[in-house]
């Protein structure tokens, strides 16, 4: 036997070499296929339903009322009776200003009013005495005037007869003129006194003082700010001890029942709706749909937007909805066309890469199918292409599915 230098029989090496050169590979171990677990889903059949055509829009909820409250008089905030988010009734006190200076102003105005009333009383007494004196003086002046008039007439007759000198006649005529002047002056004095000028001035002062007192009291009243509406405190812009002016609101109140949605419609769309038409408001954040009503339609176009503004009133009795939530609108006008169509639940349709798809169930297999959609209602969507009447589509569990995957159908909740 021939041996290698390692002491192994040569025949063994040859045998091993021959075996390696045959080109045959050992058989692979059999593998056991893993069973695919079915995905639990809920399904709904495609039905024929009437779907009203209508336009869809996106908007934001807004309060139906918003009141920004600032003081009518500047002052330091003394009390702040509300908190952010608090509901307040109409007439409730919201905040007050420091009232010390305002109370002093009222006291001063009251004192000035009392002084003016007293002055008016004194003016009345004084004026009565002045009128009586002027009346007596006028009567005396009138008697003197009549006497001078008779004397001047007699002097003129005597002068004409040559019984009286020219100088004496001139003196009599001059005395008449003086008496007439004195009488006229006395009448002016009497008329002036009779007009009660002092009383008029005093009455004007009383009226002015009365107005000043009313203003001071109003300023004091304005230092207490109350709620003009019932609603929620949406903003607080001041703190106790800070100065408040009319430049910025201290408290903002909003009425959130109902809420409003504002939308802008094109020239073609505005002709299809009117006040009173119904609309569906869908809130994605709450997974909720609410029936609402168009309550205002502008008769003129917004020139910047080139559209017609409308307002939609959304009921919110439980305060579930919040201002600035984004909503999707589906406006169903009175002229909306009602048509029969193959329809499935809206939640069966999903978007992927800009296209719409559904999962159609055949047996226990889900097939991903592209669809063409049409009109929508609050619950249903029209399928123009991709689903036939009676076919079953997945309405829950799509996110866990893949095309061709097995499904386990569950009962509806």
Cβ(201)–Cβ(123) below 8 Å: yes
Q: What's the CATH number of domain 55-63+254-332, 2.40.30.170, 3.40.720.10, 3.40.50.300, 2.60.40.10? A: 2.40.30.170
The pLDDT, as a whole number, for residue 287 is 83
CATH annotation of 43-53+338-409? 2.40.420.20
d(CA 175, CA 153): 12
**Residue carrying structure tokens 């100088």:** 167
- In this structure, the number of other CB atoms found within 10 A of the CB of residue 131 comes to 18
Q: How far is CA 118 from CA 198, 206, 211, 217, in A?
A: 13, 9, 17, 21
Cβ(361)–Cβ(393) below 8 Å: yes
d(CA 388, CA 377): 19
Stretch (H or E) spanning 343: strand 338-345
Cβ(378)–Cβ(345) below 8 Å: no
* Average pLDDT along the chain, 413 residues, taken 10 residues at a time: 39 38 46 70 90 69 95 93 96 95 89 82 63 82 89 90 87 86 85 66 82 91 95 95 92 96 84 88 85 94 86 93 87 61 91 93 95 79 93 93 93 78
Alpha-helical runs (H) found in 162-303? 166-194, 197-222, 267-270
Is the bond into 258 cis (omega within 30 degrees of 0)? Answer: yes
Q: How far is CA 249 from CA 92, 239, 324, in A?
A: 17, 12, 20
**Residue carrying structure tokens 């709706």:** 273
d(CA 19, CA 331): 83
Cβ(39)–Cβ(400) below 8 Å: yes
Closest CA to 349 of 369, 366, 367: 369
Closest CA to 265 of 226, 296, 220: 296
pTM of model > 0.75: no
**Crossing angle (nearest 10°) for helices 166-194 and 100-161:** 160
Which phi and psi (to 5°) does residue 163 adopt? -90, -5
Which phi and psi (to 5°) does residue 332 adopt? -105, 100
Cβ(127)–Cβ(198) below 8 Å: yes
**Residue 241, CB-side half-sphere exposure with 13 Å CA sphere:** 0
**Residue 231, CB-side half-sphere exposure with 13 Å CA sphere:** 25
Question: Where would I find the beta strands (DSSP E) of 221-325?
Answer: 224-226, 231-236, 243-244, 251-265, 278-283, 288-297, 308-314
Sign of CA dihedral 82, 87, 91, 92: negative
Sign of CA dihedral 321, 324, 326, 331: positive
- Long-range (24+ apart) CB contacts under 8 A made by 65-68 are 65/229, 65/231, 65/253, 65/254, 65/255, 66/234, 66/252, 66/253, 66/254, 66/255, 67/228, 67/229, 67/231, 67/252, 67/253, 67/254, 68/249, 68/252
Q: How far is CA 8 from the centre of its chain?
A: 104
d(CA 231, CA 243): 25
């Amino acid at each position: 036997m021939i041996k290698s230098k390692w002491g192994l029989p040569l025949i063994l090496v040859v045998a091993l070499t021959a075996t390696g050169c045959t080109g045959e590979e050992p058989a692979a171990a059999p593998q056991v296929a893993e069973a695919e677990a079915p995905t639990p889903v809920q399904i709904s059949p495609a039905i024929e339903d009437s779907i009203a055509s209508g336009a869809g829009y996106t908007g934001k909820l807004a309060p139906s009322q918003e009141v920004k409250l600032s003081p009518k008089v500047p002052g330091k905030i003394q009390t702040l009776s509300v908190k952010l988010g608090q509901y307040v009734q109409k007439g409730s006190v919201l905040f007050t200003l420091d009232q010390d200076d305002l109370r002093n102003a009222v006291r001063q105005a009251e004192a000035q009013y009392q002084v003016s009333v007293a002055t008016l009383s004194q003016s009345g007494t004084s004026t009565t005495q002045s009128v009586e004196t002027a009346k007596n003086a006028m009567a005396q002046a009138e008697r003197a005037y009549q006497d001078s008039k008779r004397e001047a007439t007699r002097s003129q007759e005597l002068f004409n007869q040559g019984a009286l000198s020219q100088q004496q006649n001139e003196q009599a005529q001059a005395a008449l003129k003086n008496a007439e002047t004195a009488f006229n002056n006395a009448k002016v004095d009497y008329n002036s006194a009779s007009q009660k000028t002092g009383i008029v001035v005093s009455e004007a002062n009383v009226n002015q003082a009365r107005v000043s007192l009313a203003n001071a009291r109003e300023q004091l009243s304005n230092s207490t700010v109350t709620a003009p509406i019932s609603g929620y405190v949406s903003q607080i812009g001041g703190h106790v001890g800070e100065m408040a002016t009319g430049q910025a609101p201290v408290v903002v109140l909003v009425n959130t029942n109902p809420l409003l949605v504002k939308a802008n419609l094109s020239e073609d769309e505005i002709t299809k709706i009117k006040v009173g038409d119904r609309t569906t408001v869908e809130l994605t954040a709450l997974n909720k749909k609410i029936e609402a009503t168009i309550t205002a339609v502008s008769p003129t176009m917004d020139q910047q937007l080139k559209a017609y503004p409308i307002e939609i009133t959304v009921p919110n009795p439980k305060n579930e909805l919040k201002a600035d939530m984004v909503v999707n609108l589906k406006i169903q006008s009175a002229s909306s066309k009602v048509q029969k169509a193959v329809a499935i639940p809206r939640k069966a349709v999903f978007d992927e890469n800009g296209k719409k798809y559904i999962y159609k169930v055949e047996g226990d297999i889900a097939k991903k199918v592209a669809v063409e959609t049409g009109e929508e209602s609050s619950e249903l969507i029209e399928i123009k292409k991709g689903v036939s009447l009676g076919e079953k589509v997945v309405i829950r569990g799509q996110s866990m599915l893949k095309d061709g995957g097995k499904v386990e159908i569950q009962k509806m909740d």
